[in-house]
Structure 1
Amino acid sequence: MTAPLSVTWPPSLWAATAQPGPVLGALDGDVQTDVVVIGAGFTGLSTAIHLRESGVGVTIVEAAEPGWGASGRNNGQVIPTLAGHDPSAMVKRHGEAGERLNAVLRDSAQYLFDLVRKHDIPAEAEQAGWIQPVHSPGRFKLAEKRVREWSAIGAPVELLDRAATAEMLGSDAWFGGFWNPSGGHINPLALTRGLAEVALKLGTTIYARSPAISMSHANGRWTVKTARGSVTARALVLATNAYTGEFERELAPEIAGEVIPVLSWQMATKPVSDNIAKTVIPGRQAMSDTHRELYFARWDARNRLVTGGAAVLPGDGGVNLRPQIAARLKQLWPQLGDVAFDYVWSGYVGMTPDNLLQPQVPGYPRIHRLGPDGFAWVGCNGRAVALSISLGRELARATQGTAIETLGLPLSEPKPQPFRAIVRRIAPLALPLYRRLDATEI
């Protein structure tokens, strides 16, 4: 399979504003290390940092450059929950391991911001909180349930009535909600490049433009091969998420087969004047509501409102999506007036639906043991920023022999999606279903 390095992604706001990434060479030859990591996104870089802080040797092989994939293309919201699944659902699914993952999720946003501060990473980090408003009166019950469940395990969540939500968001479009002050937002590409610099300073070796074409285990060692070399190691972490199988279909076919890469569009407005910006999400929280066709927004460091959406047929450069999202913003915040976008870009979200007949139900993360001291995870389902940093820590500990029974890593066997290729092509057709369900009161 030809590596998609020739794919021309639309230029993003993050690429235009993030600091330059490190200059990295490609793998050329055979090297030995203690732990090999495939992928230099949030998970892979976090894993490497935590390993090096423990004195463990680590080498990363990256198919493109740090942040080329989902870690550098997302909206940058730092959200300490999963999409659509509350703590009780995780416990029902995974038992005590689910309880441990809930604790990882609960603390994940705080952990990310603490890591940024610890290493002084220039990630435009704003720990202003994350709010999830409800888009219909009946869905206020969802907010009540989520506050009740997350409060029970120690999360700093608060229930908001309609008036408090309107004050926090500068809009009366919602009917209440809840918020978590530990959340916020970052420039995701700046964070990825900053994590790469930290990993390098700690002694990590990172090879760029070196897609892994195979991985195998024999005689107590893992071997990852690229077109021009190999890395042999005691332990391995596969950290490729939505892009697993995009460069080499046979790298990890069962794991690639359980992820549906769904194209997600991000959009950044032209800079908004200070006097108007202070009336739209005046506290600068990250916001994503209860629509299945998510309504989400956050400010960047230059007073651009960064939002996005989905479309059955978005058109080249999201041309068909622009008027739809512009009208949505004007409806939510009339004070914005006519909206124009400076940047519109896209990338993949790794979805892992449990039932293809119910695409409206988000999936769970899938965490796997690949073999002795070999681990992988996929399935961010749109909530990877905070979770992946904390999972990197957990995966680093797992490769060092920490008992799985003490980590937030509920393991499962890979379960490829039936008819994945077809589902991937028709996934955008679920959008009308989402809109119909969003319009139905609960």
Structure 2
Amino acid sequence: MSSSASVTWPPSLWAATAPAGPVLPALEGEVQADVVVIGAGFTGLSTAIHLREAGVEVTVVEAAEPGWGASGRNNGQVIPTLAGHDPSAMVARHGEAGERFNAVLRDSAQYLFDTVRKYDIAAEAEQAGWVQPVHSPGRFRLAEQRVREWSTIDAPVELLDRATTAQMTGSEAWYGGFWNRSGGHINPLALARGLAEVALKRGAVIFARSPVASMTRQGDRWRVKTARGSVTARALVLATNAYTDEFESGLAPEIAAEVVPVLSWQMATQPISDNIAKTIIPGRQAMSDTHRELYFARWDARNRLVTGGAAVFPGAGGTNLRGPVAERLKRLWPQLGEVSFDYVWSGYVGMTPDDVLKPQVPGYPRIHQLGPNGFGWVGCNGRAVALSISLGRELALATQGVPLRTLGLPLSQLKAQPMRGLIRKIAPLALPLYRSLDAREI
């Protein structure tokens, strides 16, 4: 895609309902800035806002449009945890930096909703909480462990017995679980576009339709080049995650090599009548359970259930999901009757499996110092909505020289994923393995 090309938006629910984004120029010519940010998703836009609030000049360079990538395509669940890892695991991995990261993560959902309220962003935000039901009796121990661990660091979590879980979800399918009162859900594309408007109003410069071809260190400055221009800056933030090599393979090959982009499919039902909707997740919490073949759902502002799944066959896309996901919803909530979907779309999740032999096990986020005054991160593993807004704040502070020992940025060494290309191709075929693991009691 050249810098002058138009951007095709996937026909998602969010693209159909979010307010229009700002009209932005492409990058042409030579530009100077104090900080340059690559990527106008949640992380990049949050970084830009925090820098402008501190009076720092910042230029954001986006390959497509704000929210075009994962930030505008996800399910919109605001979840203040990592997938598969509790606080003690992060401390075991990173020590005191892990403790600081845990505090950032613990508060990340609250921080997102506070940000939406502070700037009055029309993101259909509902801070109704996030529920994680468990799908077998033995897995109730997972809920107990997670509540115990997160309670230790003062997270607003609560253990749910089977009856309470049934009441909260409107389904008898689960055996208990836990919930975090600070979570919820948003229209993610509306949030991304709203953040872009906030950044612009505070004086940030955002260039769109300008894929970055390279980022290099020249003397004491960073230089970011596109097909038609460049930005030279004292500091740099790379905020491209799963889309790092989507437009230009040479942008940051070492970063791109450690994240596996995996397609996640989202699906939105037709609007559900009020009398039925009030019996399904009646408190309107975000919900995602303990299946590896994740069962998840949330309401949008128009009474659509927004759920999703993983395609079994490479290239099949969401066409092979409508029937199975509809049957799943009917098993969970028989009162739905026949289920049809108005929207089916996909986006990449940035996975960082720490064991190449166990790609089904989520890894940890990878936060890097790329050089003097240069930072970036990849590896959301499906939990970036809340985390990325808070990491934008931390990355903005890092570029201003705030000591890393005070920030929630546990740095990692670059670690390429062996057989990354193969894992990316066979990832959809892991679904039978997920189902086998889900069927085993623990």
In the alignment, the residues of structure 2 paired with residue 27 and residue 129 of structure 1 have an alpha-carbon distance, to the nearest angstrom, of: 40
Q: Which residue of 1 aligns with 2:246?
A: 246
Q: Which residue of 1 aligns with 2:374?
A: 374
Task: State whether residues 2 and 247 of structure 1, in contact with CA within 8 Å, keep that contact through their aligned partners in structure 2.
Answer: no
TM-score w.r.t. length of structure 1:
0.98
In the alignment, the residues of structure 1 paired with residue 277 and residue 423 of structure 2 have an alpha-carbon distance, to the nearest angstrom, of: 40
Amino acid at match of 1:139: R
- Which SS does the other structure have where 2:410 is aligned? coil
Task: State whether residues 266 and 344 of structure 1, in contact with CA within 8 Å, keep that contact through their aligned partners in structure 2.
Answer: yes
Q: How far apart are residue 115 of structure 1 and its match?
A: 0.3
In the alignment, the residues of structure 2 paired with residue 102 and residue 80 of structure 1 have an alpha-carbon distance, to the nearest angstrom, of: 10
Task: State whether residues 59 and 204 of structure 1, in contact with CA within 8 Å, keep that contact through their aligned partners in structure 2.
Answer: yes
Matches within 5 A, 1:253-402: 253-313=253-313, 318-402=318-402
Q: Which residue of 2 aligns with 1:158?
A: 158
Cα deviation code 1:17-70 (max 9, x no counterpart) = 000000000001001000000000000000000000000000000000001000
Cα deviation code 1:297-334 (max 9, x no counterpart) = 00000000000000212765511110000000000000
In the alignment, the residues of structure 2 paired with residue 188 and residue 319 of structure 1 have an alpha-carbon distance, to the nearest angstrom, of: 23
Q: 1:363 to 1:246 in 2, by over 3 A?
A: same
Q: Which residue of 2 aligns with 1:60?
A: 60
Which ranges in structure 1 are unaligned for 5 or more consecutive residues? none
Amino acid at match of 2:196: A
Task: State whether residues 6 and 209 of structure 2, in contact with CA within 8 Å, keep that contact through their aligned partners in structure 1.
Answer: no
Task: State whether residues 2 and 248 of structure 1, in contact with CA within 8 Å, keep that contact through their aligned partners in structure 2.
Answer: no
- Which SS does the other structure have where 1:217 is aligned? strand
Task: State whether residues 259 and 378 of structure 1, in contact with CA within 8 Å, keep that contact through their aligned partners in structure 2.
Answer: yes
Q: How far apart are residue 429 of structure 1 and its match?
A: 1.2
Cα deviation code 1:274-305 (max 9, x no counterpart) = 00000000000000000011000000000000
Amino acid at match of 1:138: G
Aligned length, in residue pairs: 442
Task: State whether residues 171 and 332 of structure 1, in contact with CA within 8 Å, keep that contact through their aligned partners in structure 2.
Answer: yes
In the alignment, the residues of structure 1 paired with residue 383 and residue 158 of structure 2 have an alpha-carbon distance, to the nearest angstrom, of: 20
Q: 1:28 to 1:2 in 2, by over 3 A?
A: closer
- Which SS does the other structure have where 1:172 is aligned? coil
- Which SS does the other structure have where 2:20 is aligned? coil
- Which SS does the other structure have where 2:91 is aligned? helix
Matches within 5 A, 1:141-290: 141-290=141-290
Cα deviation code 1:244-281 (max 9, x no counterpart) = 11111111101000010000100000000000000000
Q: 1:363 to 1:2 in 2, by over 3 A?
A: farther
Q: Which residue of 1 aligns with 2:426?
A: 426
In the alignment, the residues of structure 2 paired with residue 90 and residue 317 of structure 1 have an alpha-carbon distance, to the nearest angstrom, of: 34
- Which SS does the other structure have where 1:319 is aligned? helix
Task: State whether residues 315 and 321 of structure 1, in contact with CA within 8 Å, keep that contact through their aligned partners in structure 2.
Answer: no
Task: State whether residues 237 and 375 of structure 1, in contact with CA within 8 Å, keep that contact through their aligned partners in structure 2.
Answer: yes
In the alignment, the residues of structure 2 paired with residue 198 and residue 324 of structure 1 have an alpha-carbon distance, to the nearest angstrom, of: 40
Q: How far apart are residue 7 of structure 1 and its match?
A: 8.7
- Which SS does the other structure have where 1:82 is aligned? coil
Q: 1:7 to 1:347 in 2, by over 3 A?
A: farther
Q: 1:9 to 1:225 in 2, by over 3 A?
A: same
In the alignment, the residues of structure 1 paired with residue 222 and residue 319 of structure 2 have an alpha-carbon distance, to the nearest angstrom, of: 45
In the alignment, the residues of structure 1 paired with residue 6 and residue 293 of structure 2 have an alpha-carbon distance, to the nearest angstrom, of: 30
In the alignment, the residues of structure 2 paired with residue 264 and residue 9 of structure 1 have an alpha-carbon distance, to the nearest angstrom, of: 16
Which ranges in structure 2 are unaligned for 5 or more consecutive residues? none
Amino acid at match of 1:162: R
In the alignment, the residues of structure 2 paired with residue 303 and residue 315 of structure 1 have an alpha-carbon distance, to the nearest angstrom, of: 30
Task: State whether residues 127 and 182 of structure 1, in contact with CA within 8 Å, keep that contact through their aligned partners in structure 2.
Answer: yes
Task: State whether residues 314 and 321 of structure 1, in contact with CA within 8 Å, keep that contact through their aligned partners in structure 2.
Answer: no
Q: Which residue of 1 aligns with 2:26?
A: 26
Task: State whether residues 7 and 64 of structure 2, in contact with CA within 8 Å, keep that contact through their aligned partners in structure 1.
Answer: no
Task: State whether residues 286 and 298 of structure 1, in contact with CA within 8 Å, keep that contact through their aligned partners in structure 2.
Answer: yes
In the alignment, the residues of structure 1 paired with residue 54 and residue 6 of structure 2 have an alpha-carbon distance, to the nearest angstrom, of: 37
Matches within 5 A, 1:79-90: 79-90=79-90
Cα deviation code 1:154-186 (max 9, x no counterpart) = 101000000000000000000000001100000
In the alignment, the residues of structure 1 paired with residue 148 and residue 52 of structure 2 have an alpha-carbon distance, to the nearest angstrom, of: 38
Cα deviation code 1:76-108 (max 9, x no counterpart) = 000000000000000011111110100000000
TM-score w.r.t. length of structure 2:
0.98
Q: 1:439 to 1:159 in 2, by over 3 A?
A: same
Q: How far apart are residue 431 of structure 1 and its match?
A: 1.1
In the alignment, the residues of structure 1 paired with residue 306 and residue 51 of structure 2 have an alpha-carbon distance, to the nearest angstrom, of: 34
Q: Which residue of 2 aligns with 1:99?
A: 99
Amino acid at match of 1:236: L
- Which SS does the other structure have where 2:212 is aligned? coil
- Which SS does the other structure have where 2:293 is aligned? coil
Amino acid at match of 2:155: A
Q: Which residue of 1 aligns with 2:403?
A: 403
- Which SS does the other structure have where 1:213 is aligned? strand
Q: How far apart are residue 360 of structure 1 and its match?
A: 2.2
Q: How far apart are residue 213 of structure 1 and its match?
A: 0.3
